[in-house]
Amino acid sequence: MRNSLLTSGILSAMLSSLCCITPVFALMAGVSGIATTFSWLDPARPFFVGITVLVLGFSWYQKLKPRTEEEIACECDTDQQPSFWQSKRFLGIITVFAGLMLSFPSYAHIFYSNGGGQTPVAYIEQDSTKTNKIVLDVKGMTCAGCEAHIEHEVGALQGVKFVDAIYAEGSATIEYLPSKLEEKTIIEAINKTGYTVIEKPKDQ
């Protein structure tokens, strides 16, 4: 029963952040198009977080509550130490893992850095040539990890000077050199990640 509860807690914790974990795996595997596969789970995130907290809270209560005289007597009769899977250490490991999963959206962006303390790829391009600035409506972003994913992909394009994606607004602001890059190339790069640029109708 206890193991079943813990399994449910782990699954809930993973599901609560799956929409942000998938883009990271997609980037590592080189198949960024699947990034938004689980974005439909994002509205249910509070539900999964609640289940995880309740399951872990109940498990810790069961582990820490005072034992009855019958339980103490039974333990003396068997004279056996509880297994690792029933220990506080195992429950602690599960709790830490669940915590990391629940908070994943807040630190997912670190996986999109080029590492080594270098300047993020989205801001490498430095040129005094005249630039164009566009603001695109982007559908599918649900967390900071999604922002970082778009910034990483667009920032890798030659000619991009600045890119800033904001999931709460569903937008991406890009400043680029028109002499090196076309707007449609930027849109294609975003669409390939699995997020979708909502193109505004052109004025008649």
Query: What are the extents of the domains in the chain?
Result: 2-102, 111-198
Among candidates 82, 79, 102, which has minimal Cα distance to 91? 82
- With tokens 């303390």, the residue in question is 117
pTM above 0.85, yes or no: no
pLDDT digits (tens, 9 = 90+) for 179-191: 999 999 999 999 9
Per-residue pLDDT, 123 = 47
For residue 112, what are the CA distances in angstroms to 3, 49, 168, 184?
35, 25, 19, 23
Quick one: what percent of the chain has pLDDT higher than 90?
22
Maximum distance among all Cα pairs of the chain, rounded to whole angstroms: 87
Per-residue pLDDT, 71 = 60
Between β-strands 196-198 and 132-139, what pairing exists: parallel, antiparallel or unpaired? antiparallel
Is 164 buried (19+), middle (13-18) or exposed (0-12) by CB count in 10 A?
Answer: middle
Does residue 117 register a pLDDT over 50? Answer: no
Q: Is the dihedral of CA 143, 117, 99, 83 positive or negative?
A: positive
111-198 has CATH 1.10.10.60 classification: no
Q: Which of 29-38, 93-102, 118-127 has the highest mean pLDDT?
A: 93-102
**151 phi and psi angles, rounded to 5 deg:** -60, -35
Candidate from 97-106, 135-144, 148-157 with smallest mean pLDDT: 97-106
How many residues would you count in the chain? 204
pLDDT digits (tens, 9 = 90+) for 35-80: 556 666 667 778 878 888 888 888 888 888 887 766 656 655 555 6
What would the two tokens of residue 24 be? 């990271």
